[in-house]
């Protein structure tokens, strides 16, 4: 079926039928990609938004479907919501040739939410470079773009936040300096980014900062600190985490459970067993965290 006919049918059908039809956009040939590029701009903006959202759902539900060619083409769509959806749709892609396009979106896109999404997308490449990926010739470009976005005081706070979060795994002195700067910032987004980034550094030098963040009145700060302590597997933090199992904020309670599961150890597992042993809204989360803790403590058991 031609792409033009496919879209003609999609425009006339309800959502369930559309989802089935859209599977035909998986693994497009070069010829089909060229036709797609011609037909796509003729669709109404609202319909384009719907389709990119539905493609994201399909890709998440069925790993056999591959819409990378479509999402890559949509990075140039005139609508920011479509561009943002395309970036999100490429979250599993390992295609390093996308790096320059994400960098361009981060540096030049007029929409802050698109720039923020592009920064987040670059994060997986920053991590891959840190882990020694062979295809890391784009490493300097990624580092420079993310650090420049963070260091730009005129940039939107959400973009600066996502840029710091993305670059945080890199073992660079500039990243350490950025975390320190963000932690002292008056901007809530940057303070939250600093706490998140501390966990991604795999460096326990930040332990005191994270423990202090657990005492903050802002639940978002407590939430991020718990996530960071879990990433660091900071066993020394368990006594400070336990009271947050009763936190007034439900998301913080779940984050405390997750952190204990990542950290493990007898004290953490005992607390998780208590939660897992009685019916409650967090029982399932406690069971999952307990299983993770048991596995981490005895990975070959």
Q: What is the DSSP string of 140-179?
A: HHHHHHHHHHHH-TTS-HHHHHHHHHHHTTS--HHHHHHH
Q: What are the tokens at 46?
A: 């609202």
Same domain? 86 vs 99: no
Structural domain includes residue 219: yes
Same domain? 154 vs 135: yes
Same domain? 57 vs 98: no
Same domain? 27 vs 123: no
Full residue range of the structural domain in which residue 8 is found: 1-92
Distance, CA of 212 to CA of 207 (rounded, Å): 9
**C-alpha distances in Å from residue 67, one per residue of 10, 60, 128, 301:** 17, 11, 22, 39
Same domain? 107 vs 166: yes
Which CATH number is 98's domain given? 1.25.10.10
Same domain? 103 vs 78: no
Last residue of a domain, one of 92, 127, 161: 92
The reported pLDDT for the residue numbered 102 is 98
Structural domain includes residue 18: yes
Cβ atoms of 150 and 164 within 8 Å: the answer is: yes
Number of neighbours of residue 3 by Cβ within 10 angstroms: 20
Structural domain includes residue 49: yes
Same domain? 258 vs 196: no
Q: Is 156 exposed, middle or buried (0-12, 13-18, 19+ CB in 10 A)?
A: middle
Same domain? 58 vs 35: yes
The reported pLDDT for the residue numbered 301 is 52
The reported pLDDT for the residue numbered 114 is 98
Last residue of a domain, one of 202, 230, 264: 202
Report how far Cα 135 is from the mean position of its chain's Cα atoms: 21
Structural domain includes residue 143: yes
pLDDT in tens, the chain (301 residues): 688 888 887 777 766 667 788 898 999 999 999 999 999 999 999 989 999 999 999 999 888 999 999 999 999 999 999 999 999 999 989 899 999 999 999 999 999 999 999 999 999 999 999 998 766 688 899 999 999 999 999 999 999 999 999 999 999 999 999 999 999 999 999 999 999 999 999 999 999 999 999 999 999 999 999 999 999 999 999 999 999 999 999 999 999 999 999 999 999 999 999 999 989 899 999 999 999 999 987 765 5
Structural domain includes residue 33: yes
Q: Report the domain count for the chain.
A: 3
Same domain? 3 vs 66: yes
Q: Nearest-CA neighbor of 63 among 102, 100, 23, 118?
A: 23
Structural domain includes residue 207: no
Structural domain includes residue 260: yes
Structural domain includes residue 99: yes
Same domain? 181 vs 275: no
Distance, CA of 239 to CA of 222 (rounded, Å): 15
Last residue of a domain, one of 154, 183, 202: 202
Same domain? 239 vs 180: no
Same domain? 27 vs 86: yes
Q: What are the tokens at 251?
A: 């998301």
């Amino acid at each position: 079926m031609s792409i033009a006919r496919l879209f003609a049918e999609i425009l006339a059908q309800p959502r369930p039928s559309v989802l089935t039809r859209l599977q035909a956009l998986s693994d497009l040939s070069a010829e089909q990609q060229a036709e797609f590029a011609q037909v796509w701009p003729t669709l109404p903006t609202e319909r384009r938004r719907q389709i990119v959202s539905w493609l994201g759902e399909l890709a998440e539900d069925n790993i056999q479907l591959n819409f990378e060619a479509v999402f890559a083409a949509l990075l140039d769509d005139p609508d920011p919501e479509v561009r943002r959806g395309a970036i999100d749709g490429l979250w599993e892609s390992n295609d390093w040739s996308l790096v320059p396009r994400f960098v361009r979106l981060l540096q030049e896109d007029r929409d802050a939410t698109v720039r923020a999404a592009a920064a987040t997308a670059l994060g997986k490449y920053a991590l891959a470079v840190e882990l020694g990926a062979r295809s890391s010739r784009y490493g300097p470009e990624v580092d420079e773009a993310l650090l420049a976005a963070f260091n730009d005081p005129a940039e939107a706070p959400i973009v600066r936040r996502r840029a710091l979060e993305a670059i945080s795994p890199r073992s660079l002195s500039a990243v350490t300096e950025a975390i320190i700067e963000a932690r002292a910032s008056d901007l809530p987004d940057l303070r939250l980014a600093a706490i998140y980034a501390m966990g991604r550094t795999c460096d326990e030098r930040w332990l005191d900062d994270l423990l202090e963040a657990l005492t903050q009145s802002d639940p978002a700060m407590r939430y991020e600190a718990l996530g960071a302590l879990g990433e660091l597997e900071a066993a020394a933090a368990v006594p400070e985490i336990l009271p947050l199992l009763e936190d007034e904020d439900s998301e913080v309670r779940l984050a405390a459970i997750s952190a204990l599961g990542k950290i493990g150890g007898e004290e953490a597992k005992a607390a998780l067993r208590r939660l897992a042993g009685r019916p409650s809204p967090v029982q399932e989360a406690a069971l999952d965290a307990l299983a993770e803790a048991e596995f981490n403590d005895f990975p070959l058991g």
